Structure 1
Amino acid sequence: MKRAFVLLVAMLGVSLMACGGEALEVQVDEGPAAVELAQSTQELVTCMTDCPNGTFISCTGNTCSTVEGRSVTCDGVRKLCPPAVCPGDYRSCSAMNGQSCRSGTQPCCRGDVAGYCYCIAGRYSC
């Protein structure tokens, strides 16, 4: 198959020269370049962990490791899970502070600790 291709290219080159065209140079080199490419290609790996707040983190690189539920590291770069949130469907205390209310108290989140906002004079105070 290679010989047929080379022969076809040679005939095309001779035809062009007969018509006043320039000579075609054909260079076939399949050896070392293919080997070098195969040696320089590395497969990437992905690490992933589920975080306590219901999300996950991941990274991709040549090397990776995981500390389950805490962090992933790819190519020496460490990625941490975000801080845990309060249990339940609590809103953040800072988001509730100053919002209008009727009476009573409402649970809220201060980072990863549950707290309370108190309804004082029609506004939450947290």
Structure 2
Amino acid sequence: MKMNFAAFAVLVGISLIGCGAPTVAEESELIGENTQAICSSTQSCWDGSTVSCSGNATCTVQSASVTCDGVITRCPPVPCNAGITCTQFKQYACNEGDEGECCASTGPQYCFCNSKGIWLCN
């Protein structure tokens, strides 16, 4: 009797496989077709536009950009009318209390001269 039950179990198992159960290859294809991002990030920009991204591992929001799976999407640069880059501006000598403006990659920076004669911009 035990022998007949084991044979029956094997027969049923083989029948189920033959009745359309997906193979391992079919399952992986289905998974690939239905893969969706597991995270997303959106940031509002200075000009009213937004930047966004979707990723499968990491999604973060910075002040003027978003990053998904290591790919950075930046907001448009802020226009700057100062006419001089901050790198150039900081080369000029200054006296404590002096103020000025320069252009950084993120937009205008306001600078002041500290007591050591060094420009500090933010």
TM-score normalised by the shorter chain: which range applies? 0.3 to 0.5
TM-score by length of 2: 0.38
Which structure has the larger Rg over C-alpha atoms? 1
TM-score by length of 1: 0.37
